[in-house]
Structure 1
Amino acid sequence: MNSIKRPLLLSLGLVLATALATQAHTLRVLVNRPVVEQGKKGTVYLSYGHLLPVDELIDAEALALLQLHTPTGSVKPLAMTGKSLHANEVIFDEPGLYQAATARKPLIYCTYTDASGKPAFARVPKSEFKLPEGGKFVLGAKGHQYSKALILCGETSSQAPAPLGHTLEIVVESQPGKQGYSADAPVKARVLFQGKPLAGVKVDAASTTLSPDGLPETAAETDSEGRVTLELPEPGTWILNVTYKRDSAPADRQAFDIESYVATFAIPIAEDK
């Protein structure tokens, strides 16, 4: 596969837009027991915001899907109700690798600074945006978010988790052990955009144990084949995260200037004995 090179983003307002992006809420799907015995229960839930493992609630109306991919390839929809963590109790009755997955519905919004210079945003396309008095328009954007969590159940047959086909996706190519990935060995991953390797993007990783503020503990940039290697030395759940931005298509310029994609993947790191 040919790798995708990052396009040049609009230079106007890029610094401010990046600052706003760092303040944006991140959607993550997590599980309370990422390593579980066959036939036992676990809870899949959503984390939304900045703090780990949970922060704010998210409305079901904002979500496109919440599902569980089983080791045999079936896909089970999970319940999404009201404004909540959308916690689902699941019985893991098949041995192997499960993946919980969620995605947010695309969101179109405008970023600007108010009269005091504070960054702000409005959930409307450029064509409907009315700039407050004293404000300064930055740019319009369309945001996409995808998230996965890996669950190991019983015998995993020494396989790596398969890609799910999200538009932007982190695929871990390392094979986990029975209790997760080793804290003493680097984790190898690949970033795919529309199924093709994505070069030159930063993948960071935050530990739910070390990073309650949600800030990353480590980061690395993908190579020409979209691959990256990360050292994750603390046992527990680590959340890999990648953001990719590109200019909007000419037909969409009336509504937004850029498209922003975010993908996360929660994986278990075992305590080596």
Structure 2
Amino acid sequence: MQLPISVVPKLLVLTAFILSMLTLFAGSRRRVLNDASIMTLNTSASRLSPTIRGQGPFNNISIAATEIGLQDFYSVYVLAYCSGHYTVDDYGGHRTITNCSRTSATFAFDPDKVFTLRRGFNTSDVFWPQSIRDDFAVIQSASKAMAIIYIIGVHATGITSLISILQTQYKARASVIAHLAFITLSFVSLGVASSVASILSVKFVELINRHGQGSGISATTGHKFLGMTWSAVGLLFLTVVITVVTLPSDGVPKKSPAVAVEKKAEAEAEHA
């Protein structure tokens, strides 16, 4: 059974909306797509700073920073972050999420605010190269802008999906123009947001790994997140193309060949 051409863009934009919602709210709860992060910061091998040697029991640089409260990893998402520990059992190694932050429309990962250490210690006691601290400071604005643009894109995609459903019965010129406007806004917004996320997930991760050599700090790219967000962008692009191709000069969608043949047959029957 072949789907009518008019149904295809509706399915595409609905799927894009679902994917974009998943990318936006991933990590908002401990069990909500916590494996779909933009990137994951691995701090399990980080060490105490030489500046705190001689302070009580922590007088040896070989003591791991996790012993003063630092988590093993921090997964960064669009609106929040989650942290936890790596554990090993009879079935192998796996991650255990212990905490997720509240979601925020202007979220940006800031180590100095995120790291919660035991009383008497602060982030300066952890042996982090200043270059990594500077890296995170540089991306604060980009992360916040990305989150806001994602929110705009997801809302626009949702409105586009609603308009597509309404167009099943209502095909006025205004609805067609609104549909085209919102689908274009959806594509552009999610495209820009996905591009920023890709830079953070790939280039920024490379930067952290380069600057973190020798300090026990590393990061990994969120391939699942990138797959989801770019799939949504791709589906929206196809929707834009189909919408433009099926949009004639009068602003009302073209009828499919099957509908045209049916209308012609009805007209001939009436005149017979």
* Fold-level similarity (TM above 0.5): no
Q: Which of structures 1 and 2 has the bigger CA Rg?
A: 2
TM-score when normalising by structure 2: 0.23
Q: Which has the higher contact order (CA 8 A, sep 6+)?
A: 2
More helix by share: 2
More strand by share: 1
TM-score when normalising by structure 1: 0.22
